[in-house]
Amino acid sequence: MSIRPTTFLMNSARRAFTLVECLVSLVIVAMAAAAASTAISAGIAAQEDALRITLAAACAESRMSQALTTDYGLVPNLAGHEEPGALLASDGTAMPGLMEEMGRRTTVAAEPQAIPGFSGLVLSGWQVTVTVYDLDEDGAERELAVLRRFRPETWEETQGASP
């Protein structure tokens, strides 16, 4: 009789997983899945934060373009604060989506600007600052976008009136 069949049966029995080996492999797979899901959720959070910043910049740019195209004497009327949920577009409609969670603060100050390289040349005008923010978990403001522009006084608009 040959020894070969017995050896074959013993080798195939040794090749099978034991219960301990199965449990260890399940733990390793579970840890890998947990690490992958953590990485995916961190990526999603970073992507959502980048979207908020992009929308905040668009919201600030909307107000700034309004300040730069408004009649010079009416620019100070744009100063004010819009609470989160109360943001309005330049046409008076409510801002949609994630912008509902953002607030906007606009300040306008009379601030002369000296022109570098031209001694004695000072322009009168408005310094317009637009800040868009949202609220974190603690209710504290978190700045998302800040724009500052100088709106110079032109003779054509003011006919000589100064800010």
The domain ranges of the chain are 4-158
- Could you tell me the pTM of the whole model? 0.70
pLDDT at 41 over 60: yes
Range 55-69 average pLDDT:
92
pLDDT band at 107 (very low <50, low <70, confident <90, very high): very high
pLDDT at 86: 83
Range 35-43 average pLDDT:
91
Computed over every residue of the chain, the mean pLDDT equals 85
pLDDT at 37: 92
- Express as a percent the part of the chain with pLDDT over 70: 87
Residue of 93 and 64 predicted with greater confidence: 64
pLDDT at 148: 96
Are residues 87 and 99 in contact, defined by beta-carbon separation less than 8 angstroms?
A: yes
